[in-house]
Amino acid sequence: MHLRHGGDKSDSHLLLEKDNTVIGYAHIDATDLVAGPSVELVVHPEHRKSGLGKELLQKAREICGDQMRLWAHGDSSAAQKLAEENGFERIRTVIQMSTSLADAHTHQHNFEIRSFLPGIDNTEWLKLNNEVFKDHPEQGNWSEKDLQTRLKESWFDPAGFFVATENNKMIGFTWTKIHGAHTHEHDGDKHDHDPIGEIYITAVSKPGTGLGKVLSETALAHLKRSGLTSAMLYVDAENERAIKLYQSLGFRESGQDVMYRVR
């Protein structure tokens, strides 16, 4: 999103080229002054196993120092080896979970749920989001600009953004995405997969009330009504409460992203 919308003033980009073709790339995000810079890198499949990943990693470490964190999208043996051989240790695992929407439905409940109203709900939503995710590295401490950036994304659909209220006060929300929809492309590039739904964010002000499950069911039912057959989400491996909830809704692990830090 930062590449399209700008605003990422603390990022750097490393390129490896051969014959005027990019064969390796690393993105350095230095916005987190407490946890340290995070790095993502990729090498063209035809040029892997030739030391380019190590070259990018070492250059990124020269720039970032020993506070550097490294994301590996997909917990592959190659990524594990690269991290371990260069002095990194695993510090965080994000689990991707997936489910079929064949049996998606909502159960009867007494919660008040409605669609998010852009421009009207922004302030209250930001307050709740930042309270619930105050310690979350990606979802916490959002500003109005952060929210607006996502509301302007081509995938945003207010019909798939739900809030729960009690006595006119927002007490929870769930936000969905549709990847690969016929309604949009990625920067002009068509998707190479069938459309799939995502529960992008779900949060409640008071856990243990059953609202999280109701909101998740609402999200899945919406994605099913949109003509989709499957859905996915991401959840931190340490969030056992959320994992148990999603498992009860039929989700199963389908992948992992791992963050490493310099030992």
125/175 Cα distance (integer angstroms)? 11
pLDDT of residue 193: 61
pLDDT tens-digit readout, 164-189: 999 999 999 999 999 986 544 544 45
pLDDT tens-digit readout, 188-205: 455 456 899 999 999 999
Q: With pLDDT > 90 as the criterion, what percentage of the chain qualifies?
A: 86
pLDDT of residue 86: 96
Q: What's the CATH fold of domain 2-96?
A: Aminopeptidase (3.40.630)
Cβ-count burial of 234 within 10 angstroms (0-12 exposed, 13-18 middle, 19+ buried)? middle
Non-local (6+) Cβ contacts of 16 within 8 A are 22, 23, 24, 25, 43, 52, 55, 56
Domain edges within the chain: 2-96, 103-228
pLDDT of residue 164: 98
Show the tokens assigned to 80: 């594990």
pTM attached to this predicted model = 0.86
Q: Which of 33-42, 88-97, 111-120 has the lowest mean pLDDT?
A: 33-42
Contact yes or no for 140/133 (Cβ under 8 A): yes
Show the tokens assigned to 158: 């207010």
Q: Which of 116-120, 132-136, 169-173, 226-230 has the lowest mean pLDDT?
A: 132-136
177/232 Cα distance (integer angstroms)? 10
Strands (E), the chain: 11-18, 21-29, 38-43, 69-73, 88-100, 112-115, 161-166, 169-179, 196-204, 230-236, 252-262
pLDDT tens-digit readout, 200-222: 999 999 999 999 999 999 999 99
Same fold, 2-96 and 103-228: yes
CATH of 103-228, picked from 3.30.1540.20, 3.40.50.1110, 3.40.630.30, 3.60.40.10, is 3.40.630.30
